[in-house]
């Protein structure tokens, strides 16, 4: 299964008011393993960035004047995500902006739903942890994901953090070095966060071990003068 963990940064909060995407960050997961494949672009929004947005992500218009427009990277972006499941935290926000950008390109580009499936990890987290804080920062703390680099929001960094959180939330990444069938560390953290115990491995005694145990118990009983408390 191919999944793309995606995040965006924008000039403001509402595309209906003309706000635009200024950064797209994507990381690829195939069969629950991070592949190292990424899509990351800064974009010239051709408009001012609200001061409140700059305080969140730290990106100014001056830094973006020589960057490509969304129209310049749209084909490359869609080629990267097409057919995958997009994993997005608060997907309504990012998908709304992406659909707005595609609509600006004219007919024939469709919507994100025409190219990908979408999984909203905010909705998933609210189902798993009702009544608790489920921001990305809160989930990083809950699942033991190191977010110390996250002084400001950034699309690629947030996508990388969300990928780790998502794998932990949904059972942990498949173990690389542990014995087959043993729970991974991420899986154990996820189970602990859900208030569950990880599955225990059951090892049954062999016939030789059972016979050795019987002889040992008989010797203890004889040494006690027949007063063994485990005997009826």
CATH 3.40.395.10 fits 2-170, yes or no: no
Q: What is the pLDDT averaged over residues 12-37?
A: 97
Q: What is the pLDDT of residue 177?
A: 32
Percent of the chain with pLDDT over 70: 85
For residue 13, pLDDT over 90 is answered with: yes
Catalytic residue among 19, 40, 100, 153: 153
Higher pLDDT, 152 or 166: 166
Higher pLDDT, 91 or 225: 91
Bridge partners of residue 6, in order along the sequence: 26
- The separation between the first and the last C-alpha atoms of the chain, rounded to the nearest angstrom, is 57
- Distance (Å, whole) CA 16 – CA 36: 34
Q: What is the pLDDT of residue 29?
A: 98
How is the chain split into domains, by residue range? 2-170, 204-232
Mean of all residue pLDDT scores within the chain? 87
Q: What is the pLDDT of residue 184?
A: 46
**In this structure, how many other beta carbons lie within 10 angstroms of the beta carbon of residue 122?**
17
Q: 3 Cβ partners below 8 Å, 6+ apart?
A: 28, 29, 30, 84, 85, 86, 87, 119
CB–CB of 136/166 below 8 Å? no
Please state the pTM of the whole predicted model: 0.74
153 is catalytic: yes
Tokens of 91: 């997907």
Q: What is the pLDDT of residue 131?
A: 95
pLDDT digits (tens, 9 = 90+) for 185-232: 455 555 555 555 555 667 888 888 888 888 778 777 777 777 777 665
Instruction: Tell me the C-alpha to C-alpha distance, in Å, between residue 172 and each of 134, 153, 166, 186.
Output: 18, 25, 8, 4
Three-class SS string for the chain? CEEEEEEEEECCCCHHHCCCEEEEEEEEEECCEEEEEEEEEECCCCCCCCHHHHHHHCCCHHHHCCCCCHHHHHHHHHHHHCCCEEEECCHHHHHHHHHHHHHHCCCCCCCHHHCCEEEEHHHHHHHHCCCCCCCHHHHHHHCCCCCCCCCCCCHHHHHHHHHHHHHHHCCCCCCCCCCCCCCCHHHHHHHHHCCCCCCCCCCCCCHHHHHHHHHHHHHHHHHCCCCCCCCC
pLDDT band at 68 (very low <50, low <70, confident <90, very high): very high
Q: What is the pLDDT of residue 149?
A: 82
pLDDT band at 155 (very low <50, low <70, confident <90, very high): very high
Lowest mean pLDDT among 100-109, 111-120, 126-135, 147-156: 147-156
For residue 152, pLDDT over 50 is answered with: yes
pLDDT digits (tens, 9 = 90+) for 26-59: 999 999 999 999 999 999 999 999 999 999 999 9
């Amino acid at each position: 299964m191919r999944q793309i963990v995606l995040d965006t940064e924008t000039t403001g909060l509402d595309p209906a008011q003309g706000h635009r995407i200024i950064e797209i960050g994507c990381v690829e997961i195939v069969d629950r393993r991070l592949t190292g494949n990424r899509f990351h672009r800064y974009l010239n929004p051709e408009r001012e960035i609200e001061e409140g947005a700059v305080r969140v992500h730290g990106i100014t218009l001056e830094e973006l004047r020589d960057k490509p427009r969304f129209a310049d990277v749209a084909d490359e972006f869609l080629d990267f995500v097409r057919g995958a499941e997009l994993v997005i935290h608060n997907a309504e926000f990012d998908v709304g902006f992406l659909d707005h950008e595609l609509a600006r390109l004219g007919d024939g580009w469709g919507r994100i739903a025409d190219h990908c499936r979408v999984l909203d990890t905010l909705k998933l987290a609210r189902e798993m942890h009702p009544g608790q804080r489920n921001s990305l920062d809160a989930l990083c703390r809950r699942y033991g994901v190191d977010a110390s680099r996250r002084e400001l929001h950034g699309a690629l960094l947030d996508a990388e953090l969300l990928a780790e959180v998502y794998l932990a939330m949904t059972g942990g990444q498949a173990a690389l070095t542990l014995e087959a069938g043993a729970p991974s560390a991420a899986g154990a953290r996820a189970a602990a966060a859900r208030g569950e115990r990880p599955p225990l491995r059951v090892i049954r005694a062999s016939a030789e071990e059972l016979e050795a145990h019987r002889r040992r118990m008989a010797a203890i009983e004889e040494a006690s003068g027949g007063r063994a408390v485990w005997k009826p």
